[in-house]
Structure 1
Amino acid sequence: MVTRDRLFTIIITVVIAFVAILALFPLFSLMISSLRPSSELMRNGITLSIPFKELNFNNYTYIFTESGNYWSWYMNSILISAASIILCLFFSSMVGYALAVYEFKGNRFIFILVLLILMVPFEILMLPLYQLMIELQMIDTYLAVILPMMVAPIAVFFFRQYASGLPKDLMESARMDGCTEYGIFFRIMAPLMLPSFAAMAILQGLSSWNNFLWPLVVLRSNTMFTLPVGLATLLTPYGNNYDILIAGSVMTILPVVILFLFFQRYFIEGLTVGGVKG
């Protein structure tokens, strides 16, 4: 006999499985379309049907052998995303940690400013940031893309909430043992914050990897483009390479999946703990 709790669990599992299948349909359609020739793709569009006789790997062969700047775009995205993740985690964690554990004049005011910046759309900040990049002569460089993302307000808020729940007794014990404030953070507190680092690494990695607008504004040369900007150049008034665009888009999913698999152990814990502490 099925108990009420057992029945409820089965229903929830079925609903979640159904939602997961619906969420995977676009990815499935994208992968199938990446194996279809350009003529068939233009004739029928992106569909869920599988024309087995026409499927081939020609689009991927073209990417690997004759794609020109595609792999330059790929490496640009990897370098910019990796640098953005490392710098953002480093600086944002220190700011959030300081706001959480230290009492100083202006603490509340700075935290309120962080919350206010979260409410401001990036499009409003884009013009002054662009003017700053021009004055610093950083247009069409990696730094132009990376520097504005070094300290993310959402990351500062997240780390502040997470650090608020760390045991303060460890700090006092470390001070009594002669540890410096930097030593306390890097040797004691940072290891305790690993789940928050993992969660933010995934979120900031996705944000940087998929960032289109800002790189489009500050990058000029074709060899400096990131993947979102470079793939967009395949669509022109003179011809649309949808087959190569779709195949290239499928290839962009791999780093995101690898990033999630690498940090998934701490991802859920970091999100749940960081969301309720403070």
Structure 2
Amino acid sequence: MKKEKNNIGLKLVGNIGFSLIALVFLFPIIGLLISSFRPSADLMRDGITFAIDFSTLNLDNYMYIFQQAPSYWSWYGNSLIVSGLTIALSLFFSSMVGYALALYDFKGRNLFFVLVLLILMIPFEILMLPLYKVMVATQLVDTYFAVVLPLIVAPIAVFFFRQYALGLPKELMDAARIDGSTEYGIFFKIMFPLMGPSLAAMAILQGLTSWNNFLWPLLVLRSNDMFTLPIGLATLLTPYGNNYDVLIAGSVLTIIPIVLLFIFFQRYFVAGLTSGGVKG
């Protein structure tokens, strides 16, 4: 009985502690949300604060975005398309590569895995110039695929899926081969569904990376109609005028897809990270 009370006390302390930590991390978002309802003059004078003056709060910033900012929704749509393509293609190809490195014995397998680790340690800024030359040579500049292609087989995703696939039962592969299944059938019908938690975890991580990606899209996208949200919002800050009111309201709206993505996959997120982190 005493042990149960101690466990309840520890859980209560833990819940309170984690709640306080979560609240600290939410402070910037709360400040951003409050500031999105403030007029531009207040923002220029006081900046982002937690002080609330209800007499000045209004929906003008959001009304402007919904009624007079068609470019914003064009950027929003571009970001949704780019992030959707990145998640779908990255999960498909990276999971196949990681699965092959984990469960197939072939010549040079360890070398390929070492190369993945080496590429993982190279900063993306070093790879940007050769990647940009490839995009120019293939005439993909200012297209969705120019933004998506470098992220399709991400080293971190390959490593993650490889670690997770090491824990999959090989007996299922042998049984499927005896039943006459092809190697592609084994992967798509048996192993791919078993990788569900890892797919959900990586969907969140890749989606977040793609949604917030700024530097690479800035290099390969040239027209305003193709800009993603990070680039489009950055254009609101110019030497001739800083639209902080619209920028902050627009930034609040950009949080929604990521929150929805996490809510949709959060039940698998922790399971996928822990399983992928201890295998091998």
Normalising TM by the smaller chain, what interval? over 0.9
Matched, 1:80 2:82: yes
- Specify the code of the residue in structure 1 equivalent to 2:86: S
Aligned to 1:214: 216
The equivalent residue for 2:98 is 96
2:190 match? 188
Q: Residue 176 of structure 2 aligns with which residue?
A: 174
2:249 aligned to 247, 250, 255, which one? 247
Report the Cα distance in structure 1 between the residues aligned to 2:174 and 2:8, rounded to whole angstroms: 48
Match of 1:223 among 218, 222, 225: 225
Q: In the alignment, which residue of structure 1 is the partner of 2:136?
A: 134
Separation (CA, whole Å) in 2 of partners of 1:262 and 1:68: 29
The one of 81, 104, 107 equivalent to 1:105 is 107
Compute the displacement of 1:3 (Å). 4.4
Who is 2:45 aligned against?
Answer: 43
The 2-side partners of 1:48 and 1:211 are apart by: 28
Which residue is equivalent to 1:155?
157
% identical equivalent positions: 66
Q: In structure 2, how many angstroms separate the alpha carbons of the residues matched to 1:277 and 1:21?
A: 33
Query: Aligned partners of 2:199, 2:53: CA distance in 1, in Å?
Result: 44
Deviations 1:106-135 (A, max 9, x none): 000000000111100000000000111111
Q: Which moved more, 1:58-67 or 1:10-19?
A: 10-19
User: 2:28 is aligned with what amino acid?
Assistant: P
Match of 1:237 in 2: 239
How far apart in 2 are the matches of 1:99 and 1:118? 16
Aligned residues: 278
Structure-2 residue corresponding to 1:198 = 200
Partner of 2:15: 13
The one-character-per-residue Cα deviations of 1:233-262 (angstroms, maximum 9, x if unpaired) are: 000000000000000000000000111111
Shift of 1:30: 0.3
Q: Tell me how far 1:16 sits from its aligned partner.
A: 1.1
**Equivalent residue number for residue 270 of structure 1:** 272
TM, length-normalised to structure 1: 0.98
Please report how far the alpha carbon of residue 148 of structure 1 lies from its aligned counterpart in structure 2 after TM superposition. Answer: 1.1
For 1:17, what is the secondary structure of its paired residue?
Answer: helix
| Residue deviations 1:163-188 (CA, integer Å, cap 9, x gap) | 00000000000000000000000000
Show CA shifts across 1:58-111 (max 9, x none): 100000010131000000000000001000000000000000000000000000
Tell me the distance in 2 between the aligned counterparts of 1:210 and 1:271.
Answer: 21
Q: Residue 138 of structure 1: CA displacement?
A: 1.0
- 1:256 is aligned to 258
Query: Following the alignment from structure 2 to structure 1, what is the Cα–Cα distance between the partners of residues 264 and 9?
Result: 34
Runs of at least 4 residues off by over 6 Å: none
Q: Following the alignment from structure 1 to structure 2, what is the Cα–Cα distance between the partners of residues 69 and 8? A: 51
Q: If the length of structure 2 is used for normalisation, what is the TM-score?
A: 0.97
Equivalent position amino acid for 2:135 in 1: M
- Distance between the aligned counterparts of 1:159 and 1:117, measured in 2? 16
Aligned counterpart, 1:117? 119
